Structure 1
Amino acid sequence: MKIEIIGAGPAGLYFALLAKKHDRSHRITVHEQNPEGATYGWGVVFSDIGLSFLKEADPDFFQAFIAHHERCDYMEIVHRGTHVQVHGNHFSRTSRIDMLRVLQQACEREGVRIEYGRRVEDARALAADCDLLVAADGGNSAVRTQMAEQFRPRFVRRRNKFAWYGTHQRFHPVSLIFRETAHGVFIAHSYQYGPELSTFLVEVDPDTWRRAGLDTASEEESRRFCAEVFRPELGGNELLTNRSLWFEANIVSNERWSHGNIVLLGDALRTVHFSLGSGTRMAMQDAIALHRGVVAHPADLPAALQAFESARRDASSSFQQSASRSLDWYENVGERMHLDPLPFAYDYMRRTGKVSHEDLRQRDPHFTRACEALQPAA
């Protein structure tokens, strides 16, 4: 097959790698609009469940993929300055640029052609010259925009404001920090992803954001303000910027996943909010499912694309529903700030409705026993 892929993110590169390793006669080109080595953001997080899919799909690549990951088997919820640990939550973290570098090098070793600084202006024209066009060009997909009538995307903009930062303060566990201020509640999502760096995502509701003057603050002024809010956790370390501008979460879904020989993949297909930390996992699972569809139906592209959609649509919808409930919890966290640290952490862990008390008991019996001890006797 002649396969053209738009977007050198995890979805596009991983599909290219799997397809080329399976059949070296495939002619695969990846088109990426940004220069080589240019990426935005700090670290990415995988759960053990997320990594298990990658190990099953390609055990050899999996070992290279995780070689430099930071690992931890617990998380912390910080409320009123109290650090509540919840064990049995296994996370593996790496920098986004290192993840993409490992994928890029693996693709190039197999003979995948990657063209950087190459913006595809006409997806239909490119599709007419190949057997399969994979649109893996992210949450702001140009292909999806060009063909909105065919894919019928739906967008739901959420209310909270976010800014991505980094820091040299090392947050070994995945840490959720909730801080009450005179302006309102600030939240930090933080985790170490390399020997010297951590991601530090700041979240705040729009009213608090405006009361704090962040609606008119510059990037540098916002950075300094947020660093002072979380000074007890940051210590002497500062926040670092990388296009750290305030934005709102835009949740994307599509009524149709493919049109002709064009298929959406990863964030172009569906976004998963970072409060669940599974966007990259979902993108790479999409790549696995699309690859398996093509392998199962090598001479029947419509059947291959239908197999991909059948394998992934239910999981995609379920994950987006969980993400929506998680977002609801964060957007209304002010209603829960009166809780003591342990009940607050328990409420957080069950925010999506997907984690039962028994699930928590299996993960961390000490945590659940401590929560049970606080319950009034029947």
Structure 2
Amino acid sequence: MKIAVIGAGPAGLYFSLLAKKNDPSHDITVYEQNPEGATYGWGVVFSDVGLSFLEEADPEFFREFTANHVRCDYMEIVHRGTHVQVHGNHFSRTSRIEMLKVLQRACERLGVQVHYNRRIEDIDALSRDVDLVVAADGGNSAVRKQYETYFRPHFERRRNKFAWYGTRQRFHPVSLIFRETQHGVFIAHSYQYSEDLSTFLVEVDPVTWAKAGLDKASEQESCEYCAAVFREELGGNTLLSNRSLWFEANIAKNENWFHQNIVLLGDALRTVHFSLGSGTRMAMQDAIALNNGLTAHPTDLMAAFSHFESNRRQASSTFQTAAAKSLDWYEGVAEKLYLEPVDFAVDYMCRTGQVDLEDLRKRDPYLVAAYESRPHVQPEPALQR
């Protein structure tokens, strides 16, 4: 089969790797519009549950993929300056660029051709020239836009503002830091992903963002302002910028997942908000499911696509529902700040409805015991919904 993959992110590269391993006769070419090594963002994080699918799909590549990951078995939630540890949460982190390099090298060893600086302008012509087009070109997918009449995408732009930074301060656990300021609440999502670097994602609601003057600030001014807000946690380290511009989450989903011989994959298909840390995981699970569909139906593309969709649509819906609840929690966090640190941490862990107190007890019985041993403060009337 002649296969064209648009986008050299985790979805496109991992699908190419699996498909080529499964059938070396496939002629697979990956087209990436950006230069080689050009990636934005800093690190990516996987839970152990999230990594288990990779090990099952390809144990050999799993060992290569995780060889240089930074691991941790707990997270921290920082509220009112108190660090509450939540155990029973296992995380594996790596830099985004290293992850893509590992995938690229594995693909090229097998004979997959990966072309950078190659933007596909005529998708119709490409689809006529190949048997299968895999559109893995991200949340702003050009393929999805060109065929939006068929895919019927839906978008929901959320209200909070975000900026991706890096820092040389090493946050060994995955850390969520909530900082009250004179203008409102700032939130940092941070975790170490290499020997000397951590991701540091700053989140703020639009009213606080404007009150702080960040609506008029330059990239460097925003970087310095956020570093000052989190000076205590950063330990004197600066924040590092890499096109760290403010943006809002734009949640995408598609009514239809394929059209003719074109199928959507990863963020082009559906975005999952990073507050769940599952976007890369979902993209790579998509790749596994699409490859499984082709394996099960090697001569029937529509059957392969249907197999892929039937295995992934419910998981997509479940994750997006959980992500929406997580977003609601973050967007309403100002109403949670009356909670004591342990209560706040428990409320955070149960925010999506996917984890209840009994689930949390299995992960971290000491946290739940601390939570149950103390009286719980009720919100002041003005804070109630």
TM-score, L = length of structure 2? 0.97
Aligned match of 1:173 = 173
Q: Which runs of 4+ in 1 moved over 3 A?
A: none
Q: Residue 270 of structure 2 aligns with which residue? A: 270
SS in 1 for 2:196: coil
Does 1:132 find its partner at 2:145?
Answer: no
Counterparts of 2:60 and 2:68, CA distance in 1: 15
- The RMSD of aligned alpha carbons is 0.6
**C-alpha deviation, 1:307, in angstroms:** 0.3
- Match of residue 60 from structure 1: 60
Report matched runs for 1:190-269 at 5 Å.
190-269=190-269
Match of 1:69 in 2: 69
Q: Which amino acid aligns with 1:63?
A: R
Residue 63 of structure 1 aligns to a residue whose secondary structure is helix
Q: Which amino acid aligns with 1:230?
A: F
The 5 Å alignment of 1:1-378 reads 1-375=1-375
Aligned residues: 376
Distance 1:131 1:284 in 2: 22
3-state secondary structure, aligned to 2:276 = coil
> Which AA in structure 2 matches 1:142?
A
Shift of 1:375: 4.3
- In 1, the alpha carbon distance for the partners of 2:124 and 2:345 equals 49
State the 1:122 CA deviation. 1.8
Distance 2:375 2:312 in 1: 40
Output the CA distance in 2 between the equivalents of 1:201 and 1:182: 20
Shift of 1:120: 0.5
Q: Which amino acid aligns with 2:65?
A: F
Q: Could you tell me the TM-score, scaled by structure 1's length?
A: 0.99
Looking at structure 2, the residues matched to 369 and 99 of structure 1 have their Cα atoms a distance apart, in angstroms, of: 39
Q: Deviations over 1:8-37 (max 9, x none)?
A: 000000000000011110000000000111
Q: Show CA shifts across 1:232-257 (max 9, x none).
A: 10011000000000000000000000
Equivalent-residue separation in structure 2 for 1:70 and 1:234 (angstroms): 19
The amino acid of 1:177's aligned partner reads I
Q: Point out where structure 1 has 5 or more consecutive residues left out of the alignment.
A: none
Q: Deviations over 1:315-339 (max 9, x none)?
A: 0000000000000000000000111
Q: CA deviation at 1:217?
A: 0.2
CA distance, structure 2, for counterparts of residue 243 and residue 278 of structure 1: 22
1:113 Cα deviation from its structure 2 partner? 0.3
Q: Higher mean Cα deviation, 120-129 or 302-311?
A: 120-129
> Identity across aligned pairs (percent)?
74
**Deviation of 1:203 (Å):** 0.2
3-state SS of paired residue (2:237): coil
Secondary structure (helix, strand or coil) at the match of 1:176 reads: strand
Long gaps (5+) in structure 2: 377-385
Q: Name the SS for the 2:274 alignment partner.
A: coil
Q: Deviations over 1:300-358 (max 9, x none)?
A: 11000000000000000000000000000000000001111010001000000110111
